[in-house]
């Protein structure tokens, strides 16, 4: 990455090692085209140190927006992936710039990095016993480090995470387990269970509960999403995850319907208690009975 030159915005855990100009009109002037910082996010809770690119929108350098906070999106590659490809191949900063100019998005901070934050190991965003702790890195270390580089909003609604392939699995997993930090996640062509391959090494050390935790389908059955929004994508052709993606969608819907059903039952129970006619014990925990999905009924 180069030699550390300073600490971006005074953050003790995010060191800027270089700067690039975005490939947009006026990109050489930060107040016009924004700025891309090459950074190293250093360990604190997780023990991980990872390079990344941070794209700051022009508004971060404009006096008229001095008191404004900005949303942040964490953008993850697949495996093995290259963070530079997020800049030059997928052109995320240019896309964000164009959307803001068109009035279709708010100015945002992009944090772009590999999903494999402990290379060359393919960690699948798993907390490996005695090894890399990736969830604390994404849930705590990264947001705290980035908060010092610009005026990032502090609430979960100000943070989102998106990734493709393995990065999409990581994004959905982070959104599911850390809705207190990320209110939205997007998994593009993702898988939904941690891969186990020579590149991953032994992720679970024989511990079934860790393997179960890395299975998003099983997690949804036992841990309904709380306040999270999920976007997942697939294709009827050229993708091998169509079936699993539709299953994930149905499980998210079912989990949320169960939560809403229990909430309605609790409200009804409180009403009945107030009226002197208490509901039967256990009624509030009865799962919702679901009818056919719109797709099954032939609806769009």
By CB neighbour count within 10 A (0-12 exposed, 13-18 middle, 19+ buried), where does 144 fall?
A: middle
Q: Are 172 and 232 within 8 A, CB to CB?
A: yes
Question: What does the pLDDT look like over 200-234, one tens digit per residue?
Answer: 888 888 888 889 999 999 999 888 777 789 999 99
Question: What does the pLDDT look like over 61-109, one tens digit per residue?
Answer: 888 888 889 999 999 999 988 899 998 889 999 999 999 999 999 999 9
Cis amide leading into 80 (omega within 30)? yes
Question: What does the pLDDT look like over 231-289, one tens digit per residue?
Answer: 999 998 888 899 999 999 999 988 877 655 455 545 555 544 444 433 333 323 333 33
Cα gap 203→196, rounded to integer Å: 8
Burial track 101-122 (b if 16+ CB lie within 10 A, e otherwise): eeeeeebbbbbbbbbbbbeebb
* Predicted confidence band of residue 12 (pLDDT cuts 50, 70, 90): low
Strands (E), the chain: 6-7, 14-20, 35-41, 50-56, 72-76, 109-113, 159-164, 184-188, 229-233
Cα gap 224→232, rounded to integer Å: 17
Q: Are 216 and 192 within 8 A, CB to CB?
A: yes
Mean pLDDT over 11-21 rounds to 85
The pTM for the full model equals 0.81
Cα gap 284→265, rounded to integer Å: 5
């Amino acid at each position: 990455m180069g030699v550390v030159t300073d600490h971006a915005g005074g953050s003790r855990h995010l060191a800027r090692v270089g700067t690039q100009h975005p490939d947009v009109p006026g990109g050489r002037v930060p107040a016009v085209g924004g700025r891309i910082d090459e950074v190293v996010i250093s360990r604190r809770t997780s023990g991980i140190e990872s390079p990344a690119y941070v794209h700051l929108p022009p508004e971060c350098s404009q006096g008229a927006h001095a008191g404004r906070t900005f949303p942040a999106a964490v953008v993850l590659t697949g495996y093995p992936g290259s963070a530079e490809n997020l800049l030059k191949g997928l052109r995320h900063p240019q896309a964000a710039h164009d959307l803001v100019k068109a009035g279709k998005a708010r100015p945002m901070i992009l944090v772009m990095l590999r999903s494999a934050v402990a290379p060359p190991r393919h960690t699948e965003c798993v907390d490996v016993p005695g090894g890399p702790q990736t969830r604390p890195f994404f849930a705590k270390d990264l947001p705290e480090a980035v908060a010092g580089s610009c005026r990032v909003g502090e609430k979960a609604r100000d943070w989102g995470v998106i990734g493709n392939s393995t990065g999409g699995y990581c994004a959905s997993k982070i959104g599911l387990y850390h809705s207190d930090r990320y209110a939205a996640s997007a998994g593009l062509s993702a898988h939904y269970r941690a891969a186990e391959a020579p590149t991953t090494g032994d992720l679970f050390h024989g511990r079934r509960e860790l393997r179960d935790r890395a299975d998003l389908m099983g997690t949804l059955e036992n841990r309904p999403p709380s306040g999270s929004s999920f976007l997942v994508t697939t294709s009827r052709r050229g993708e091998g995850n169509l079936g699993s993606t539709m299953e994930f969608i149905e499980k998210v819907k079912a989990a949320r319907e169960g939560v809403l059903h229990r909430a309605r039952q609790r409200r009804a129970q409180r009403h009945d208690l107030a009226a002197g006619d208490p509901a039967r014990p256990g009624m509030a925990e009865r799962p919702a009975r679901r009818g056919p999905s719109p797709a099954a009924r032939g609806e769009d």
